Amino acid sequence: MQLHHFHGGLKLAEHKAESTARPLLTLGVPKYLYVPLSQHIGAQTECVVQSGDRVAKGQRIGRAKDYICANVHAPTSGWIRGIVEHPVPHPSGLSAPCIKLETDGRDQWGDDRMEPWRDWRERDTRSLRERVRDAGIVGMGGAAFPTAVKLNPRPGKRIHTLVVNGAECEPYISCDDILMRSHPEAILEGARIVAQMVGAERVLFAVEDNKPEALRALTDAVASGEQDFIRIVSIPSIYPTGGERQLIKVLTGREVPSAGLPADLGMVCHNAGTLKAIREAVVAGQPLISRIVTVTGPGIREPRNVEALIGTPFADLVAAAGGYRPDVDRLVMGGPMMGFAVVDDAVPIIKGTNCLLATRPQDAPQPGPVMPCIRCGECTRVCPANLLPQQMYWFAKSKDFDTIQDYGLFDCIECGCCAQVCPSNIPLVQYYRYAKQEIWGREKERQKADLARERFEFRQQRQEREEREKAERLARKKAALAKKDSAPTEKKAAIEDAIERARAKKTAQSSGEKPSQDRERADG
């Protein structure tokens, strides 16, 4: 298959072998789980259980109340011990509402478990999509966007290709690799389900060429006779080739329009882990309650992949991987390029947690002092969106938010390549995040202000109208009153009129004689 290039990118040391050397470990059920109500992009879910409730495994405990939202389920059976503020994996390090679940160790499904649909080929798209939505599935590559939304193509967009993202381009992370090695059939079944749902005629399954075992496992799992339908594609390992837009460019040579979606090119892209979750939801009736997490880094004794329940504290996963090495000083959720450091390892894993990376000072040293930008252009060379990061840095710094948008701020995918190569140690991505936040904030402010102005203007109009109506009413009343007052005068006038007429008549009579007299006189 003819592959293509995207601009820039980085060849990074992979560090994947550390965690793939050990087999996948399924972690036991911890005493307490803290399941955050918001684990995805979109609105927070609404808690539908109360403290003291007994819940079964897979029972829905958080309800999606918005379109862009995802249900949350009890990862195991037990008792709800409250909705508590608990540290969550978020760059801010702040706490957020979590459902505290005391587990009972029995791991029992309830009676309301979703019915397994082995006959999913007979099911219609809508019910399959509802199933995905019910199962609370989100993108498992890290972004955690509700999958059901992505499976609902906009009207008029025909999807012909399902792109499966098994690139896993960021160093250290190997959870998809392990998944593809161990469950290729399940992933492919998920791909078939999604292909049926969106009506795709072909599936392009992209895996970076640094994962030969996964490539082999997948190739073997493709049923004979469907090689034309599902193509396993080995792509060059260049960070960030796993970015949706970059991946589509590599596979097809086409660029997703800046403001558009892959659907504009007739494509939809899903992560391999997401497809496995879809398969489990449809075929096994199991909502998204656990995932594989790579626990790795030079600060971990025995790096490996661990399958754990959502809500399990980071610390438990680290313990399963042999614990920390001495002098570990940073714990990152996600990979080294886009992940964020967490303050505390008590935070629970969520649906989007693909990797825990622990580093020591020598592995990710404190960068030197931030120097002035010397415009060396390295960032331009590596930018996969073909931006000019050095120029955008100036505009972000000078708060020139119009110009920075003109330079493509919102085309930045925050991959971190520019910051990695910057000789001046400038945290470039931070500047762009800041600029984006400011622009969104201002947009929100502007909308608020617009709304306020609209309301104010409406109120003013209303008041003016009321004034006017009042005035009119008054005027009418006055007029009516005036009429009432004028009524007797009319009568008088009529009388006077009559008198006048009578008098006129009289005068006319007397004067009528006069002319005759005159005539007589004239005659006479």
Partner 1 sequence: MRFRTRTSPHMVPGHSVGSLMRQVLYALIPGTLAMAWFFGWGVLVNVVLSVLFAVMFEALMVTLRRRPVGVTLGDSSAVLAGWLFALAIPPLAPVWVLLVGTGFAIVVAKHLYGGLGYNPFNPAMVGYVVVLVSFPRELSLWPSPEGLAEASFTLWQTLQTTLTGRLPDGLDWDAVTRASPLDMMREALVSGQTVHEVTRSPVFGSFSQTEWEWAGNLFLLGGIWLLYRRVITWHIPVSMLLSLATIAGVFWVLDPDQFASPAFHVFSGAAIIGAFFIATDPVSAATTPLGRVLFGIGIGILTYIIRTWGGYPDGVAFAVLLMNMVAPTLDHYTRPRIFGHSGDGRG
Distance CA 334, CA 419 (A): 17
217-256: contacts with partner 1 (CB under 8 A): 245, 249, 255-256
**CB neighbour list of residue 519: distance below 8 Å, 6 or more residues apart:** none
Q: In this chain, which of 198, 263, 278, 342 binds partner 1, going by CB under 8 A?
A: 342
Q: In this chain, which of 258, 398, 463, 507 binds partner 1, going by CB under 8 A?
A: 258
Find the part of the chain contacting partner 1 (CB under 8 A) among 19-27, 230-238, 375-383, 458-466: 375-383
Residue 90 as a binder of partner 1 (CB under 8 A): the answer is no
Residue 400 as a binder of partner 1 (CB under 8 A): the answer is no
Residue 123 as a binder of partner 1 (CB under 8 A): the answer is no
Which CB atom, from 37 or from 265, has the smaller least distance to partner 1? 265
480-499: contacts with partner 1 (CB under 8 A): none
Q: Please tell me the number of Cα atoms within 13 Å of 41 on its side-chain side.
A: 13
Q: In this chain, which of 375, 400, 401, 438 binds partner 1, going by CB under 8 A?
A: 375
| Whether the Cβ atoms of residue 358 and residue 330 lie closer than 8 Å to each other | yes
Q: In this chain, which of 53, 388, 400, 439 binds partner 1, going by CB under 8 A?
A: 388
- Please count the residues of the chain: 524
Q: In this chain, which of 50, 224, 366, 510 binds partner 1, going by CB under 8 A?
A: 366
Q: In this chain, which of 55, 175, 390, 435 binds partner 1, going by CB under 8 A?
A: 390
Distance CA 223, CA 36 (A): 39
58-77: contacts with partner 1 (CB under 8 A): none
Residue 420 as a binder of partner 1 (CB under 8 A): the answer is yes
Residue 435 as a binder of partner 1 (CB under 8 A): the answer is no
Query: 22 in helix, strand or coil?
Result: coil
Q: In this chain, which of 79, 301, 391, 400 binds partner 1, going by CB under 8 A?
A: 391
Amino acid letter, residue 216: R
Name the minimum Å distance from CB 407 to partner 1. 7
Q: Which of 73, 64, 60 is nearest to 46 (CA)?
A: 64
Find the part of the chain contacting partner 1 (CB under 8 A) among 141-149, 153-161, 333-341, 452-460: 333-341
Q: In this chain, which of 102, 344, 472, 520 binds partner 1, going by CB under 8 A?
A: 344
Query: 410 in helix, strand or coil?
Result: helix
- The count of other CB atoms within 10 Å of the CB of residue 95 is 15
| Residue 503, token pair as written in the block | 């008098």
Name the minimum Å distance from CB 353 to partner 1. 16
Find the part of the chain contacting partner 1 (CB under 8 A) among 180-188, 215-223, 279-287, 383-391: 383-391
Distance CA 132, CA 414 (A): 29
Find the part of the chain contacting partner 1 (CB under 8 A) among 23-31, 76-84, 404-412, 515-523: 404-412
Residue 332 as a binder of partner 1 (CB under 8 A): the answer is yes
Give residue 359's Cα distance to chain centre. Answer: 29
Question: What phi and psi, each to the nearest 5 degrees, are found at residue 80?
Answer: -75, 130
Which CB atom, from 221 or from 388, has the smaller least distance to partner 1? 388
153-182: contacts with partner 1 (CB under 8 A): 171
Distance CA 445, CA 268 (A): 33
Query: 75 in helix, strand or coil?
Result: coil
Q: In this chain, which of 3, 221, 283, 341 binds partner 1, going by CB under 8 A?
A: 341
- 1 burial via Cβ count (<10 Å: 0-12, 13-18, 19+): exposed
Q: In this chain, which of 38, 174, 290, 380 binds partner 1, going by CB under 8 A?
A: 380
| Whether the Cβ atoms of residue 368 and residue 425 lie closer than 8 Å to each other | yes
How many chain residues interact with partner 1 (CB under 8 A)? 71
Which CB atom, from 308 or from 422, has the smaller least distance to partner 1? 422
Query: What is residue 411's DSSP assignment?
Result: G
| Residue 24, token pair as written in the block | 């996948």
Distance CA 383, CA 417 (A): 6
| Whether the Cβ atoms of residue 57 and residue 76 lie closer than 8 Å to each other | yes
Residue 437 as a binder of partner 1 (CB under 8 A): the answer is no
